[in-house]
Amino acid sequence: MNKAVFLDRDGVLNEEIGHYVWKLEEFVVLPDVADSLARLKQAGYYLIVVTNQAGIAKGLYSAAEVQACHQKLQQATGNLLDALYFAPAHPSVSESLARKPGSLMLEKAIARFRLDPAQCWMVGDRLRDMQAGQGVGIRGILIGAAEPADYQPRVVNLQAATDIILANSRTLI
């Protein structure tokens, strides 16, 4: 069995700008991300992005525009990401088990990469990210102060989350 870090996108890997991010010029990878991902990859973690992209269902942008942002993310991080999943649904338009707090994106990756949830982490900036991880038995780390919750651990950025993950890393048997 393998281990992975599941990563929300907006607010974790790229700047949260207060509205949907699909334009390449607005998609800015955060400064600590490439180094943090390299450290996690060196420790043997698969790196998997799981992101809600409701703007697709709302007709604001296309899946191709999301994929262009993901290509920019891959280039900025040295192609360290093993998979990038996105849920295009929005509750006002369509139902989806993939959309977080649903866990279908994580379930797909668990099956694909033969992951042991007990050795995995979910890093996100919303409680729905933590709920998706909890739904499949994965520990979570909340980034930022956007959510008014007492969820712990809560850190300021991916670098701090990476420090926690590496300090608590379990050796594969």
The catalytic site residues sit at 8, 10
- The total of other beta-carbon atoms located within 10 Å of residue 162's CB is 25
The encoded tokens of residue 74 equal 């891959």
Instruction: Find, among 114, 116, 101, the residue nearest to 50 by Cα.
Output: 101
- The total of other beta-carbon atoms located within 10 Å of residue 5's CB is 25
Cα separation, 6 vs 129, in Å, equals: 9
Cα separation, 131 vs 111, in Å, equals: 19
Instruction: Find, among 9, 17, 143, 168, the residue nearest to 77 by Cα.
Output: 9
Encoded amino acid at 119, one letter: Q
